[in-house]
Chain A
Amino acid sequence: MVERLALLFVIGLILIAVVWCSRWWARRRLGTLQRASAETLWRALEVVPDGRPVVVAFSSPSCAACRTTQYPVLRALEQKSTPAPRIIAVDVSKKPAAADAFGVLTVPSTVVMSSVGRVMAANHGFAPVDLLAEQVRLAAAGSASASR
C-alpha cells in the first residue's frame, strides 16, 4: 500500500509539472505570436485587414464542441461587443498553413487580434463569451492607441 501511495504521489508531481509546462508553453506561444509580423498572419489567413478587431476561430470538421458551443458564443460576441469584431473562421483541415502560423494544437481555439494585426490573446479550447468580449475590448483599445 505504501508503494502505491508513493507511486500516486510521484504521478501527482508529474501532473503538476505537466500543467506548469503547458502554461509556460501557452505564454511562450502568445509571446511568439505577438512578435510575428502582422503581414505574415494576414497572409496565412488569406484575408486583408478592414480596420476592425479580429477573432480568428479555429475548428475542424469533427469538432462537435466548435459547432455546438464555440460558434454560438461567437455569434453572441458579434451582437454583444462594441465595436463588433470581425470573426474569421478557419477550418484547420482545409487551412493547415494558417493553423501552423498561429501554432494551433487543438480545436476549438481562438486568437484575438487588433485591427493592425497585433495578437492580443490566444485561447486553447473553448472560450466563453465574457472572456472573448474583454479580449476584443482590449484589442479595440490597442488598435485605437496604435493609430494615434
Chain B
Amino acid sequence: MATSADGRSGSGGLIGEGNPALPTYDVTARKAHQWAMVGLIALGFIVGGRVAAVPIAVAGAIMLLGRFWWPADLVRQIVWRALEPWGILRRRDAHEDHETRRVARVLGGGVWLVCALLLGIGLSVPAWLLSGAVALMVVLDASVDFCALCFASAQLDRRRAGGHRPVSG
C-alpha cells in the first residue's frame, strides 16, 4: 500500500490502487525513428538554403501524421516490416513512458513544419534555432532517455512552489 509523504496512505495516497497492466513498446523502433528524424534535420542543415525545407517538412510530417495515422509512421513501418524481420535490428520490448513522448511528438512535428515554412520564406535563423532545439531534445531522449519536457515542467512546478514557500531562519 502506498504512503504519501503527507502522511496519507492507501487509496487516498498519490499512487492509488488497482492491478495495473503494463504495456510494452518496441524500444528499437522508437530509437530508430528518433535517430532518423535527427538525421533528416542534419541533412537539411548540411544541404542548406530553401531546399533544406524539404527534409525538415518530411520529418515534421512523419512526426505529426504518424502520431495519428500509423501507416504514416514510416520509420517504424520500415523497422517492423524489414529491418527487424531481416535481422538487421534486434527488437527490444520494454515498458516505458509513451504518454509524454506522444505529446512531445506532436509538438516537435508541429515546430518542424513551421520551421520548414520559415525556411521556405527565407527566415533561416529562427528556423534553424527552433529545429535545432527540437532536434537536441530528440537526441537527448534517444541517447540517454532524458525527457526535456519533464525536466522543464518539474522545474516550473518547483519554482511555483518556491514562490509560496515560507521564509525560514
Kindly name the residue among A59, A73, A126 whose own CB sees the greatest number of chain B CB atoms within 10 A: A126
Q: How far is the CA of A105 from the CA of B95 in the complex (A)?
A: 22
B88 within 8 A of A: no
Q: Are the CB atoms of B161 and A93 closer together than 8 Å? A: yes
Contacts of B153 in A (CB 8 A): 60, 62-63, 107
Residue tally, chain B, CB below 8 Å to A: 50
What residues of B have a CB within 8 angstroms of the CB of A76 in the complex? 20, 22
Q: Is B144 positioned at the interface, with any CB of A under 8 Å from its CB?
A: yes
Instruction: Check A128/B5 contact, CB under 8 A, given A4-B48, A92-B158.
Output: no
Structural contact, B14 and A91, CB atoms closer than 8 A: yes
Contact with B162, one of A7, A89, A96 (Cβ below 8 angstroms) = A96
* Residue contact B1 to A78, C-beta cutoff 8 Å: yes
Question: Do B95 and A71 have beta carbons less than 8 Å apart?
Answer: no
User: Quick check: B14 and A1 within 8 Å, CB to CB?
Assistant: no
Whether A86 and B3, one on each chain, are in contact in the complex, defined by CB atoms closer than 8 angstroms, is yes
With A72-B20, A93-B161 in contact, do A129 and B150 touch (Cβ < 8 Å)? Answer: no
- Interface size, chain A (Cβ < 8 Å): 54
> Which listed segment binds A: B60-68, B75-83, B97-105?
B97-105
- Would you call B165 and A64 a contact (CB within 8 A)? no
State whether A46 touches B157 (Cβ < 8 A): no
A148 to B123, CA, bound (A): 69
Q: List the B side residues contacting A75 at CB < 8 Å.
A: 2, 15-20
Interface readout for A42-81 with B: 1 if CB under 8 Å, 0 if not?
0001110000000001011111110011111111101100
Complex Cα spacing A62 to B18, Å: 22
Query: Chain A contacts of B98 at CB under 8 A?
Result: 69
CB distance from B15 to the nearest CB of A (A): 5
8 A Cβ contacts from A93-139 to B: 93-96, 98-99, 104-108, 124-126, 128-129
Q: Are B46 and A4 in contact (CB under 8 A)?
A: yes
When the two chains form their complex, are residues B150 and A65 in contact, meaning their CB atoms are under 8 A apart? yes
Q: Name 30 interchain pairs, CB-CB below 8 A, sorted by A.
A: A1-B48, A4-B48, A15-B136, A15-B139, A46-B7, A47-B7, A57-B15, A62-B153, A65-B97, A65-B147, A69-B97, A69-B98, A69-B100, A72-B20, A73-B22, A73-B95, A75-B16, A76-B22, A87-B2, A88-B4, A92-B158, A92-B161, A93-B158, A96-B161, A105-B151, A107-B153, A107-B157, A125-B97, A125-B150, A126-B96
The 10 lowest CB-CB distance pairs between A and B, nearest first, are A72-B20, A89-B14, A60-B157, A93-B161, A126-B97, A106-B151, A69-B97, A107-B154, A68-B99, A65-B97
Additional A-B contact list (8), CB under 8 Å, known A5-B46, A73-B95, A125-B147: A1-B47, A60-B154, A60-B158, A65-B97, A72-B20, A92-B161, A96-B158, A128-B95
